Amino acid sequence: MTVLVRSAALSGLDKLAAHLRLDLPALLQRFDLPAQALREPDLPVSYQAFINLLEHCAHAGRCPDLGLRLAQMQGIGVLGPVAVLLRHAATVGDALALASRYLFVHSPALRLATQAVPGRAQEVDLVFALDGAALTPRPQVMALSLGIICQGLAALTDGRAQPVQVALPHAPVAQPAAYRQSYGCAVVFGAAAAAVRLAQADLQLVLTENDPQVKALALGYLEQLAGSARAPVSSQVRGLVRNLLAAGRAGQGDIARALSMHLRTLQRRLQDEGTTFAQLVDEVRRTQFEALAAMPGGPSLTQIAHILGYAEASVLSRSCRRWFGAAPSSVQRAARDAAA
């Protein structure tokens, strides 16, 4: 099944492509994206095609910081009606909770969750993920997405909410200084998950444009717009498992609590969708292993085992042989050779 995103995701790319002397109309055709996507922001288009287009433009235009540049051009406005709702939330914490609930209107693949930082009670992580079995996140779209989060926090608070740190799940493809300048904070690469770290106190900041009446109107509109398009429970579980594996908090009970759902209800809903909790965890682990194994200069196999929530590297070895019929080291070597 094709994962979709609003065509507003392309906003600003025409100007950036012209600056880089790229023929964007021809590239849209090459990646099977409709030309009207540049003019109509609410047209559903293939998210993977958009991701691949960004990577191609960055390579062909010799612009490794393309995602960072595009984030500066788009800002929170790229989210359309969701941005209206967020601007009129009461506090930063309220806006993040609303974003987590309604980002699927922009794309059902988007996941945003607020998590405590182990050992750092004064800080909180905004963990971002792209969910979808057929979706392969790549560096430019991750840089773009986290840039929009940072831009959004600054816009909503007139610069009062400042990220403490940004974590990216890949090696830098542009100069590290470009990431630091764009995000305005320290950046960690090769992390277990993509995240923007904030001071816990920033969640209580009152938003500049806070208007309860406009918020209520935006909520009503989004509820009508959403209809039955809410993400399946299995997709929500995948996103939560991906974010919580490394912290050791991805058991069925943990996920049920995160969804405010009784454990038996969660099991029944997953059964209705033709899957089980164990199958979803296994899918997430396999997908994450493939991404981490292919990462040049990425984590060791022992570190990967920890990121995937395995107690020992030997358990990863057994899983890898079941998935690929080969040892983890062989799969990692082949993946890195293919990515070189």
C-alpha–C-alpha distance, residues 166 and 147, integer Å: 9
Query: How many alpha carbons lie under 13 Å from residue 49 in its C-beta half-sphere?
Result: 19
| Contact indicator for 113, 93 with CB cutoff of 8 Å | no
Residue 93 has pLDDT above 60, yes or no: yes
* Three-state secondary structure call for residue 129: strand
Number of C-beta neighbours around residue 118 at 10 A: 11
- DSSP E strand stretches across the chain: 4-6, 44-46, 110-117, 120-130, 165-168, 186-189, 194-199
Where are the chain's structural domains?
A: 65-204, 233-339
C-alpha–C-alpha distance, residues 104 and 100, integer Å: 8
pLDDT (0 to 100) of residue 337: 80
pLDDT (0 to 100) of residue 41: 92
pLDDT (0 to 100) of residue 224: 75
Q: In terms of residues, how long is the chain?
A: 340
C-alpha–C-alpha distance, residues 139 and 282, integer Å: 24
Give percent above pLDDT 70 in the chain.
95
Least confident of 57-61, 66-70, 252-256, 302-306: 252-256
Q: Please, what is the average pLDDT of the chain?
A: 90
Least confident of 115-124, 211-220, 228-237: 228-237
| Contact indicator for 76, 94 with CB cutoff of 8 Å | no
To the nearest 10 degrees (0 to 180), the angle between helices 263-272 and 277-293 is 80
- In the 8-state DSSP scheme, what is residue 295? S
pTM for this model (two decimals): 0.70
C-alpha–C-alpha distance, residues 134 and 184, integer Å: 33
Split at pLDDT 50, 70, 90, the class of 316 is very high
| Contact indicator for 244, 254 with CB cutoff of 8 Å | yes
Q: What is the pLDDT of residues 273-293, one digit of tens each?
A: 999 999 999 999 999 899 888
| One CATH from 1.10.287.610, 3.30.70.1430, 1.10.10.60, 1.10.1740.10 for 233-339 | 1.10.10.60
Residue 228 has pLDDT above 50, yes or no: no
C-alpha–C-alpha distance, residues 272 and 283, integer Å: 18
- Distance between alpha carbon 70 and the CA centroid of its chain, in Å? 16
Across-strand partners of 112? 128
Question: Of 53, 52, 59, 67, nearest to 24 (Cα)?
Answer: 53
Could you tell me the two tokens for 332? 């990692």
C-alpha–C-alpha distance, residues 123 and 272, integer Å: 38
- In the 8-state DSSP scheme, what is residue 91? B
C-alpha–C-alpha distance, residues 164 and 184, integer Å: 9
Mean pLDDT of 308-329: 93
| Contact indicator for 76, 155 with CB cutoff of 8 Å | yes
C-alpha–C-alpha distance, residues 296 and 329, integer Å: 14
C-alpha–C-alpha distance, residues 238 and 246, integer Å: 14
Q: What is the pLDDT of residues 163-208, one digit of tens each?
A: 999 999 999 999 999 999 999 999 999 998 899 999 999 999 999 8
| Contact indicator for 199, 185 with CB cutoff of 8 Å | no
